[in-house]
Amino acid sequence: MRNSPKRTSQLRAYFSHHLRVSLASLGRLYAQPIATLMTAAVIAIALALPVGLYIGLANIGQVSTGWDGSTQISLFLHTQVTEAEAKKLQSKLEKHKDIKKVELIDKEKGLQQFKEISGFGDALKYLDSNPLPIVLVVHPRILSNQPDRTTKLVKDLGKNKLVEIAQLDVQWVKRLYTFIEIANRSIWVISSMLAIAVLLVVGNTIRLDIQNRREEIEVSKLIGASDSFIRRPFLYTGFWYGIIGGLLAWVITLLSLSMMQNPIHKLALLYHSDFRLTGLGMANTLLLILISCALGLIGSWIAVSRHLKDIEPS
């Protein structure tokens, strides 16, 4: 090429060109704040939804960790069983190879706990005698990932003639985990659908942008602009939509969390817990913006590769 400038200055010009194009794209968005915000808000809401679900599940998972290890079997003994008999059974069970520890909750202690937890303390005063049975709390030596052995142990314990009911307390925790698992899967399904929605929103916005700048594209092609040169401003527009959408999604998430924080904390206090909602965290926030940015880029790429070909000078 007769007119091409020197290589090094070309490289420098290339980078300053990229900087200028990206800023020009941002400037175009800034020049139409309402339209830009509307598109970015659609992206943000589509992203904030799965992010909110994710945070909710992460918190439920956090609350329930620790419950996993506390698999325990409650043996409710017949009411006529005496404390001496219960103690004998306790020491017998502690020798069982699958049992780590057995705790004895006598009638008095049981009543005490019931008063504390149920809130029916005053009503209990009117009872003539203590209606509660002695309870043996069995801590199995079994890992929670061996449900069959635990189930067998529960069955065996239930056969003892002193035991009225043998109850595996871990059952509902397992159900909760299964539920969380299902919810986790559905987050993936919802997220992928919303990601496609983001792609479509960005793609459609860029398509309109391309139509509006048809003249400019034609002229650029006529004076020798390469396809990548023409593509660049549109890709940067998609990139900026992604960034703005991601940041907005983050703000929406923060606002929603702070709105939920107080009532949830109050609820937690009612359960004697100091639980507080945990937010997205630094790494996940970055990931959110990164994903949003990638979706913006991919969306604009799809639009650009579909529609730029149609515009040829004539």
Partner 1 sequence: MIHFDNISKRYPGGHDALSQVSLRLEKGQMAFLTGHSGAGKSTLLKLIAMIERPTRGQIFLDGVNLNNISNRKIPYIRRNIGIIFQNHHLLYDRPVFDNVAMPLIIQGYRRQEIHKRVRAALNQVGLLSKEKADPITLSGGEQQRVGIARAIVHKPLLLLADEPTGNLDPELSREIMELFARFNQVGTTVLIASHDLELIKQMGSPMISLHGGRVAHNGLPFTLNKQELK
Binding site for partner 1 (CB under 8 A): 1-5, 9-10, 12-14, 16-17, 215-216, 218-227, 229, 312-314
Query: What's the min distance (Å) between Cβ of 205 and partner 1?
Result: 19
Given the complex with partner 1, which of 13 and 127 has the nearer CB atom? 13
Let me know how long the chain is. 314
Q: In the Cβ-directed half-sphere of 83, how many Cα atoms lie within 13 Å? A: 8
Given the complex with partner 1, which of 13 and 193 has the nearer CB atom? 13
Given the complex with partner 1, which of 133 and 209 has the nearer CB atom? 209
Query: What's the min distance (Å) between Cβ of 17 and partner 1?
Result: 6
Which regions of the chain does DSSP assign to beta strands (E)? 73-77, 99-105, 135-140, 163-168
User: Using a CB cutoff of 8 Å and minimum separation of 24, what contacts does 62-68 make?
Assistant: 62/278, 63/273, 63/275, 64/173, 64/176, 64/177, 64/180, 67/170, 67/173, 68/144, 68/173, 68/177
Given the complex with partner 1, which of 171 and 220 has the nearer CB atom? 220
Report whether 18 contacts 10 (CB < 8 A): no
Query: What's the min distance (Å) between Cβ of 244 and partner 1?
Result: 23
- Determine the Cα–Cα distance for residues 100 and 140; give it in Å rounded to an integer: 5
Given the complex with partner 1, which of 3 and 145 has the nearer CB atom? 3
Query: What's the min distance (Å) between Cβ of 1 and partner 1?
Result: 7
Query: What's the min distance (Å) between Cβ of 312 and partner 1?
Result: 7
